[in-house]
Amino acid sequence: MDQRVTCCIAGGGPAGMMLGVLLARVGVDVLVLEKHKDFLRDFRGDTIHPSTLRMMEELGWLPDFLKLPHQEVKRLSGQFGTARIELADFSHLPISTKFIALMPQWDFLDFLAEKGRAYPKFSLRMNAEATDLIYDGNRVSGVKVTTPEGPLTVAAELVVASDGRSSTLRKAAGFVSENFGAPMDVMWFRLPRLPTDTEETQARFDVGHIFIMLQRGDYWQCAYVIPKGGDAKVRAAGLDAFRKSVGVLLPFDAARADAISDWDQVRLLTVVVDRLNEWARPGLLCIGDAAHAMSPVGGVGINLAVQDAVATANVLWQPLKEKRLTFDDLRKVQARRDFPTRATQRLQLTVQNLIIAKTLANTRELKPPLIFRLFNSLPFLSRIPARLIGLGFRPEHVSDAIRAGMGV
């Protein structure tokens, strides 16, 4: 083998980077492989939720983290036809970070990489793609890696697949996923933001349309939700028609949509909701999107991935450090994270089927669902989605041992 480590993590996204840093913090020899040369890519999921911010606080990193450029979202609102509804109020969460931080994901990953470099056992290799698994009998014992300098093999006590929903290692291991379907895809693009614009992140539900705007400082990150597989039809209608459709949904002058000058500015997110039946094989564990692709509903994907990483570190750091890792240890991670994953996906699927699908198919005047109409007359109800979005089901905490950095 060209390199030997205790834990090799394939994929430098939120799950992989967080896990790598936490394991190195307690003295586990870890290598994170990231197939791109840097983190500067067009991510869609840029929402850091209160659950993740609390982990930053538990690790003593929150003050440094909040020095990074970000916008704070303390409330989420939606417009259904002509009715405006406050959907989530984070100000009542029982934690100190009562907001969602909108932050470019590359800044988040760079921040984790910087923290990781403080630990002698942490190694991050960019431009290195894990392409296949290596076996010792029926146990995964390492990975094959492609680099600009040539092929590399890495031996490891544990290989973690955190390489996304199209995970190469997940396929190589023959994992089977259950696909739950989605009624929509999302077209992402940016529009310029003026100083006179509202500060508020918002969503609009109208006849046959759903449009979301995330406030990103000098621009709006926009999500135009379309029926599943409808991208080709939208593009075939022409850019002028698309700009007109966007313009009527804007809370300001429709001419702002003219900033979309060509289709290259519009990216398609194909929505997938799936989940592995089994997350582990001897010597191999899948976490984050490699174990469960989430719907964009609620923007919880990054935060579920980070929760997976924290749970994995809490359960596995000691067996890894003491070189006594077993398959049962890996199964404990799934046992810990299975319920919150299932519960979150069930909630997302309910929203998809009862609200999103019906809105996209609607041809008459749109009215808010009854439960949302109650939010205006009973404002405390908005605390419920705030809790579910902000903290989620069974939120994780960094263990005392990892907080203390026992390996440093």
For residue 209, give its domain range: 184-227+230-269
- Say whether both 108 and 172 belong to one domain: yes
Is the separation of the CB atoms in 26 and 49 below 8 Å?
A: no
Give the pLDDT of residue 365: 78
pLDDT digits (tens, 9 = 90+) for 14-55: 999 999 999 999 999 999 999 999 887 765 668 999 999 999
Is the separation of the CB atoms in 242 and 231 below 8 Å?
A: no
Q: How confident is the model at residue 399 (pLDDT cuts 50, 70, 90)?
A: very high
Q: Beta partners for 177?
A: 276
pLDDT digits (tens, 9 = 90+) for 348-358: 999 999 899 99
Q: Is 169 exposed, middle or buried (0-12, 13-18, 19+ CB in 10 A)?
A: buried
Residue 87 lies in a domain: no
- Say whether both 35 and 150 belong to one domain: yes
- Is residue 407's pLDDT more than 60? no
Last residue of a domain, one of 240, 269, 298: 269
Among 107, 104, 154, smallest CA distance to 128 is for 154
What residues contact 36, with CB distance under 8 A and at least 6 apart?
Answer: 12, 126, 127
Q: Is 361 exposed, middle or buried (0-12, 13-18, 19+ CB in 10 A)?
A: exposed
Residue 372 lies in a domain: no
- Say whether both 277 and 260 belong to one domain: no
- Say whether both 209 and 156 belong to one domain: no
- Say whether both 198 and 166 belong to one domain: no
Residue 380 lies in a domain: no
Phi and psi at 363, nearest 5°, equal: -125, 0
Q: How confident is the model at residue 67 (pLDDT cuts 50, 70, 90)?
A: very high
What is the number of structural domains in the chain?
2
pLDDT digits (tens, 9 = 90+) for 278-333: 999 999 999 999 999 999 999 899 999 999 999 999 999 999 999 999 999 999 99
Give the integer Cα–Cα distance in Å for 179 and 335: 20
Residue 80 lies in a domain: no
- Say whether both 325 and 264 belong to one domain: no
* CATH label of the domain that carries residue 292: 3.50.50.60
Residue 376 lies in a domain: no
Residue 130 lies in a domain: yes
- Say whether both 162 and 47 belong to one domain: yes
- Read off the tokens for 398: 């960094």
Percent of the chain with pLDDT strictly greater than 90: 80
pTM of the model as a whole: 0.94
- Say whether both 214 and 241 belong to one domain: yes
- Say whether both 239 and 336 belong to one domain: no
Give the integer Cα–Cα distance in Å for 78 and 84: 6
- Is residue 201's pLDDT more than 60? yes
Last residue of a domain, one of 269, 294, 323: 269
Residue 371 lies in a domain: no
pLDDT digits (tens, 9 = 90+) for 210-269: 999 988 888 999 999 999 999 999 999 999 999 999 999 999 999 999 999 999 999 999
Over the Cα atoms of the chain, what is R_g? 22
Residue position matching structure tokens 């999302």: 186
Give the integer Cα–Cα distance in Å for 32 and 24: 11
**Helices 105-116 + 14-25 axis angle, to 10:** 20
- Say whether both 136 and 43 belong to one domain: yes
Region 65-88: mean pLDDT is 90
- Say whether both 333 and 242 belong to one domain: no
Q: How confident is the model at residue 202 (pLDDT cuts 50, 70, 90)?
A: confident
Residue 336 lies in a domain: yes
- Read off the tokens for 400: 């005392």
- Say whether both 263 and 277 belong to one domain: no
